[in-house]
Amino acid sequence: MKQRHVMRPDFPAQWQITSATLLADTNSSHIWKAIAGEENSPVIVKILKPAGHEELRGAYYMRERDGHGSIRLLDLQLDPTMMLLEYAGDYDLKAHLDAGHDAETIRIAADLIRALHSPSGQALPNELQPLRKHFKSLFDLAGTAQDIYADAAKLALHLLDQPHEIIALHGDLHHENIIQSSRGWLAIDPHGLCGDAAFDCANLFYNPLGRDDLCLDEHRALTMAETFSEVIGKPASYILDYAFCYGCLSAAWHREDGNDADEARELKIAFALRKLRIETYP
């Protein structure tokens, strides 16, 4: 299929963009790698399409983080929405895993979660989406589909009702969103949520994509739960509960999109994690 030509946009003059290459054309945004400023530094420019308006929350999340575990938001322009972002590099945690370092990637992810959840000194942005709203697709589906959705919705409500600190959450932390930079491992492409710290651990149990042999490995899942437990100060069983609920939420999104294969894949892993949690921490 011939790739659609995308014209170079008019970047804000103060960014001093001297060259730009389109990296991705998604349903929600155009992403450019550019050279900017008097020092000719590499940067990323993310330009949101109308369908990507919700991704603006990620900009407010990065502003709150101010470089703590996340790439920096260097500037934000509205109408059209353009984010000028720190360029972290192109070596991600999936590549590190593929190089034979899966055990190390778990520790790297845990250390990054610690950094992402460290105080930034900034106020929590009002624009971040609360977890209760983020789970809407799962709650809407409960009672209309198979029992696993109803079980996950009930458990998610129980978790959300537990006393917990409301903090800024990346919301989509997985291997391809963790990049090795000159400042260490950093997170990119946040969803911009707020709520319980345990949620940021959940997606990692379903990744990398295409590696169900790892995602269904019980020993690996327990190692992850115990490692993340040390970081956020909650029991490993609590981490596995969030991982189960997240998988069912992700499956609900795939169901909305009519993506039967990915829905089944998420439910398979979610069911295995729930079984593991019940058998290990009854």
Task: Say yes or no to pLDDT of 144 above 90.
Answer: no
pLDDT of residue 44: 97
pTM for this model (two decimals): 0.94
Confidence band for 1, pLDDT divided at 50, 70 and 90: very low
Mean local confidence (pLDDT), 152-165: 96
Which domains occur in the chain, in start order? 13-86 (3.30.200.20), 93-280 (3.90.1200.10)
The C-alpha torsion from 103 through 239 and 156 to 217, rounded to 10°, is 40
Confidence band for 2, pLDDT divided at 50, 70 and 90: very low
Task: Say yes or no to pLDDT of 146 above 90.
Answer: no
Mean local confidence (pLDDT), 197-217: 97
- Of 86-90, 119-123, 127-131, the one with minimum mean pLDDT is 119-123
Tell me the two tokens of residue 253.
């999104």
Q: Return the higher-pLDDT residue of 80 and 253.
A: 253
Confidence band for 4, pLDDT divided at 50, 70 and 90: low
Q: Residue 255 is inside which H or E element, if any?
A: helix 236-256
29-68: pLDDT as tens digits: 999 999 998 889 999 999 999 989 899 999 999 999 999 9
Confidence band for 138, pLDDT divided at 50, 70 and 90: very high
pLDDT of residue 279: 97
Among 63, 16, 62, smallest CA distance to 41 is for 16
Among 199, 220, 202, smallest CA distance to 211 is for 220
- Cβ-based neighbours of 20, under 8 Å, separated by 6 or more: 8, 11, 32, 33, 34, 35, 45
pLDDT of residue 22: 96
